[in-house]
Amino acid sequence: MARTTTRPAKSAAYLVLGMHRSGTSAVTQLLALAGAELPQNVMPGDEHNAKGYFEPWKIALFNDARLRAAGSAWDDVFALPYAPLPEADEAEWTARALALYRDEFGEARFPLLKDPRVSVLGPMWRHVLETVGLSARVVIPVRSPLAVAGSLARRDGFPVEKSVLLWCVYMLAAELYSRDLPRAFVSYDGLLADWRGEVARIEAAHGAALPRMSPHAQAQIDQFLTGDLRHNAGGGDLSAVPIVGPLAKTVHDWFEAASVGPAPPLAPLEAAAVQIAELKARMGVFVSPVTSALSAASAELDEERQQRQRERLHTHQIETELALLRRERAAIEAQVDAMLAAR
């Protein structure tokens, strides 16, 4: 695959931003295979995403807690704009985020951070990267909000109106907080159809080649990016979704255009943000406390689930090592027996 740039590689963080269930996991795996560095603790796959999330689960739990501290949650449809805490609290949370980043990434030259919550917590995480002296390169996958809604309906039972509005909030936040950074908007369908073309667009937008896109990496990406990653086609009339359809169509049209060419003028996105702020003024009091309470309960379950998954993986590793040792012992005993028989 031809490179789009000959500039020498410099250290930089890769941020995968955007909405949950939008192809962020697929983009993250591609970047990881091409040399960007995943954190120490990555969420494994499950029945909703068999190939893995590539999400830093400790950072995800931390981000959930930070959202709750502001009375919000990951599924708060009014989590825009960023809600800073009182100055001392904000400084404490940012310091905790910095310590967590260092635990997860150490001295990585090309850290790869994928947690959709970073989209709505952008100012805090950008401060962390500035503190460690890293610039950021952003990739924002673009997928139909109806496809996202189908996925969230199956996994979480969300009504389509909530999922579509949530998609708008995450995408608007991802765009707003990365506006001054090198960034690429990547079509999820385009990624599955021609990932090499999308990589060329990413490299051109970043002005830098991916760290290590070798022939071996390309072969691995070919094996990973297969059609079975597309679980929801996302067909239907987006503008017909009650309450939020026309708003979502405006936002989706903007991102679709940005994923195939130069980003359009920002006026439609700014108008959409105003509409969401008006909805928040009328309805927000009914939403945020509920989502925050649910998030607090589910966070404990998530942490327990991750702990048990780690224990299962550790047990599996031990069993594998024991089986290997048994085979080696049997082989040695067979050799000894053969030597004794020969003597």
Count CB neighbours of 170 within 10 A.
27
pLDDT digits (tens, 9 = 90+) for 287-325: 666 566 666 656 655 555 656 666 666 676 777 777 777
pLDDT band at residue 2 under the 50/70/90 scheme: very low
pLDDT digits (tens, 9 = 90+) for 172-210: 999 999 999 999 999 999 999 999 999 999 999 999 999
- CA distances from residue 224 to 15, 45, 47, 335 in whole angstroms, order as listed: 20, 14, 17, 42
Check residue 337 and give its pLDDT.
77
DSSP string of 39-88, one letter each residue: -SSBPPPBTTBTT----BHHHHHHHHHHHHHTT--TT-TT--S--PPPHH
Domains of the chain as residue ranges with CATH: 13-342 (3.40.50)
Rounded Cα distance between 147 and 104, Å, is 32
